[in-house]
Amino acid sequence: MKKFNAIIAIVIVAFIMSFTTDNKRRIPKVDVKTLDGKMISTSTFNNDGNPMIISFWATWCKPCVQELTTIADVYEDWQDETGVKLIAISVDNSRTSGGVMPLINGKDWDYEVYLDENGDFKRAMGVNLVPHTFLVNGKGEIVWEHTSFTEGSELELIELVKKLKNGEEIK
């Protein structure tokens, strides 16, 4: 009976804490590789209090390339308007990651791009399919995410970025 009461007490405390603590997901601390081969911790990702978009993609994924290319066309305006930063995380493995740099240069993408060749960051973020896009507020909390890409979904994304920039909560 004492063991049962202890379990009930733990459940009650956990339930109460779920309403009193910040349950927002944060970017996990994982090492990824820069395009020049250096390791960097994802814990260093920041944007001086402004929103960040983290996009998981691959060179072989047509919707991924389409999404990043579509955003690239308006990215400078987005940055001027909201201060947003896009970080593109390639999930290409060591066999296909050699195509990342030529693709980026060919598309003239002006993003921070990192390689997650072993998939550690992808797993830590719960990414199963690409493209998978996360919106992170200025405190480093993940406030929204979506998978896939359809034409026009970038408009929803920028509206959410604007809400964050204006201090509105994303639900």
Domains of the chain: 25-165 (3.40.30.10)
What band does 87 get if pLDDT is binned at 50, 70 and 90? very high
Q: In what order do the strands lie in the sheet with 112-115?
A: 25-26, 141-147, 132-136, 52-57, 85-90, 112-115, 31-34, 39-41
Residue scoring higher pLDDT (8 or 75): 75
- pTM reported for the whole predicted model: 0.85
Cα 65–Cα 67–Cα 146 angle in degrees, nearest 5: 120
Residues 127-137: pLDDT tens digits?
A: 999 999 999 99
